[in-house]
């Protein structure tokens, strides 16, 4: 389990369109929002990422960079970026499932074709949403066992405004005896 205020795992992956995303090299004032999504096969992910795409500039105005990540290969990741009309949101691909587990993501097995007729990969990670500070420590995290009921990006933007105005620390950091 990841712990707020502690260093997150590394994350270095290829980007749709070329280049590499390296969390350790991100250059942002306040951090990076990482949205791990299930893959091209997931219609809920497509709608979710459309919402994220619309708010990338809002995050940037607050000093936060954004990335969408999946274990899909380059072709499927590029298809998802195209499907949602990505102009601002970066897409990283080829997430090793061992690294997905390091981030605390749940792994699912294929159930065949989804409701939109796209085959699920044999194995893939379920969704997770994280905000990581520039020092690569965990500020916010949410992981799910299913594609449903995800955190809203608009609420995260509002929470950032509150956190910035009040110098609000990451919570959930206590790891001692209870």
Q: To the nearest whole percent, how much of the chain has pLDDT over 70?
A: 100
Token pair 């799910």 in the structure block, residue: 144
Q: Which pLDDT belongs to residue 28?
A: 97
Q: Write the pLDDT tens digit of every residue in 50-77.
A: 999 999 999 999 999 999 999 999 999 9
- Report helix, strand or coil for 126: coil
Cα–Cα distance list, 124 to 78, 87, 140 (Å): 17, 25, 22
Q: Which pLDDT belongs to residue 10?
A: 98
Mean pLDDT taken over the chain: 98
Q: What is the pTM of this model?
A: 0.97
Q: What are the structural domain ranges in the chain?
A: 12-160
Which superfamily does 12-160 belong to? Glutaredoxin (3.40.30.10)
Mean pLDDT, to the nearest integer, of 106-135?
A: 97
Mean pLDDT, to the nearest integer, of 127-149?
A: 97
Cβ atoms within 10 Å, residue 124: 23
Cβ atoms within 10 Å, residue 38: 26
Are the C-beta atoms of residues 54 and 156 closer than 8 Å to each other?
Answer: no
Task: Specify the DSSP class assigned to residue 121.
Answer: P
């Amino acid at each position: 389990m990841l712990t707020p205020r502690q260093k997150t795992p590394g994350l270095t992956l290829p980007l749709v369109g070329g280049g590499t995303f390296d969390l350790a090299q991100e250059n942002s004032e306040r951090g990076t929002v990482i949205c791990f999504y299930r893959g091209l096969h997931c219609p809920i992910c497509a709608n979710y990422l459309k919402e994220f795409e619309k708010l990338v500039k809002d995050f940037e105005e607050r000093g936060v960079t954004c990335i969408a990540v999946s274990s899909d290969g380059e072709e499927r990741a590029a298809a998802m970026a195209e499907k949602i009309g990505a102009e601002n949101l970066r897409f990283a691909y080829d997430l090793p499932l061992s690294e997905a587990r390091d981030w605390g993501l749940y792994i699912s097995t294929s159930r065949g074709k989804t409701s939109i007729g796209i085959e699920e990969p044999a194995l893939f990670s379920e969704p997770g949403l994280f905000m990581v500070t520039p020092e690569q420590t965990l500020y916010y995290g949410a992981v799910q066992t299913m594609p449903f009921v995800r955190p809203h990006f608009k609420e995260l933007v509002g929470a950032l405004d509150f956190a910035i105005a009040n110098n609000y620390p990451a919570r959930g950091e206590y790891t001692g005896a209870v």
